């Protein structure tokens, strides 16, 4: 077996440009074989080729990346590991400035792998086996981070959404390893003047990170809270709604709830009806996740203010105030 492996490595390395057209379909056929040993062997050779070959293989990278990501939901653990290692090497061969052009294909491949896993494990949260490995996110992050940092507004939106989809199928343990390098850039971009689509996508991804990352996000709590409160006053409804949802989930990690609730109540005494609706939605989320930590004085102030808002002119404000009172009454 080891002699055959050595022979295969030698052949892969002596193939020239013309031979690549014969080799690549052979390797792709191998990773789709019914036998796990064939899939594993083909994945290994793909990684070996991209790491060691002197040929220009950038045009072959997209197909390889897509195929290897799909293999991250393989039923054979050794094949999953071989596919992840090969994927790391393929990504490592792509020039940094070209990485964002692969965001869509990575998203599509993750979606395909997720669907395969969902069909296999009905009724349980879907995690890809290949994204439960130690350091599993390392080869993916440069693709999305490059898109977030240097891409157009549309690319930033795609990168933020793709990152959220990836984290959704990643284990909590694996995510905790990289929570800090992921979260920092997202907060920075959220603070800049980008279109609402970018902000909305980033807020959605941060909400997923909060739900999965938990206490690993502690260094970012003050920053995130300030950012979300600011986004409650955004001119776009989608941004406000997602900020309200994110703030509610974040409050479960916070140790100082009174100042946050007090700020939200103050915001209700000014601002237009659209902002009031978002603030009320955020208040409901904060109380639902951390209501037991709110002091009785702040609760009383909240009840008084919310009862007044039941008489507001706008339907949305009255409805949101009623929901907030309902949630507050539980504590």
Q: Is the pLDDT of residue 41 over 80?
A: yes
Q: Is the pLDDT of residue 123 over 80?
A: no
- Nearest Cα residue to 155 out of 103, 190, 208: 103
Q: pLDDT for 130-189, tens place per residue?
A: 999 999 999 999 999 999 999 999 999 999 999 999 999 999 999 998 998 899 889 988
**CA-CA distance, 225 to 10, in Å (whole number)?**
56
What tokens appear for 71 in the block?
């293999």
Q: What is the pTM of this model?
A: 0.91
**Domain locations in the chain?**
1-177
How would residue 43 be classed by pLDDT, with cut points 50, 70 and 90? very high
The pLDDT value given to residue 282: 97
Tell me 255's DSSP state. Answer: S
The pLDDT value given to residue 16: 92
Tally: H helices and E strands in the chain:
17, 0
Cα-based distances in Å from 217 to 164, 206, 250, 285: 16, 10, 9, 19
């Amino acid at each position: 077996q080891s002699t055959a492996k050595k022979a295969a490595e030698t052949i892969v390395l002596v193939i020239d440009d013309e031979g690549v057209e014969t080799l690549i379909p052979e390797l792709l056929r191998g990773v789709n074989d019914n036998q796990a040993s064939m899939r594993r062997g083909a994945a290994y050779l793909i990684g070996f080729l991209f790491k060691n070959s002197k040929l220009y293989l950038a045009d072959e990278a997209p197909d390889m990346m897509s195929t290897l990501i799909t293999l991250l939901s393989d039923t054979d653990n050794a094949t999953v590991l071989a596919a992840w290692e090969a994927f790391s090497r393929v990504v490592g061969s792509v020039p940094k400035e070209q990485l964002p052009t692969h965001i869509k294909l990575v998203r599509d491949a993750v979606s395909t792998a997720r669907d395969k896993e969902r069909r296999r494990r009905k009724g349980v949260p879907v995690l890809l086996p290949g994204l439960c490995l130690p350091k599993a996110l390392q080869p993916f992050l440069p693709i999305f981070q490059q898109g977030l940092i240097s891409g157009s507004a549309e690319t930033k939106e795609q990168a933020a959404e793709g990152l959220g989809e990836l984290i959704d199928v990643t284990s909590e343990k694996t995510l905790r390893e990289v929570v800090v390098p992921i979260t920092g850039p997202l907060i920075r971009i959220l603070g800049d003047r980008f279109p609402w689509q970018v902000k909305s996508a980033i807020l959605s991804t941060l909400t997923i990170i909060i739900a999965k990352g938990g206490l690993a996000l502690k260094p970012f709590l003050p920053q995130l809270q300030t950012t979300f409160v600011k986004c409650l006053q955004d001119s776009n409804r989608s941004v406000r709604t997602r900020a309200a949802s994110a703030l509610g989930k974040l409050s479960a990690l916070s140790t100082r709830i009174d100042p946050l609730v007090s700020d939200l109540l103050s915001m209700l005494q000014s601002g237009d009806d659209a902002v009031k609706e978002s603030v009320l939605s955020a208040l409901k989320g904060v109380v639902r996740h951390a209501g037991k930590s709110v002091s009785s004085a702040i609760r009383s102030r909240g009840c008084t203010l919310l009862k007044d808002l039941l008489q507001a002119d706008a339907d949305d404000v009255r409805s949101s105030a009623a929901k907030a009172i309902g949630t507050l009454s539980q504590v």
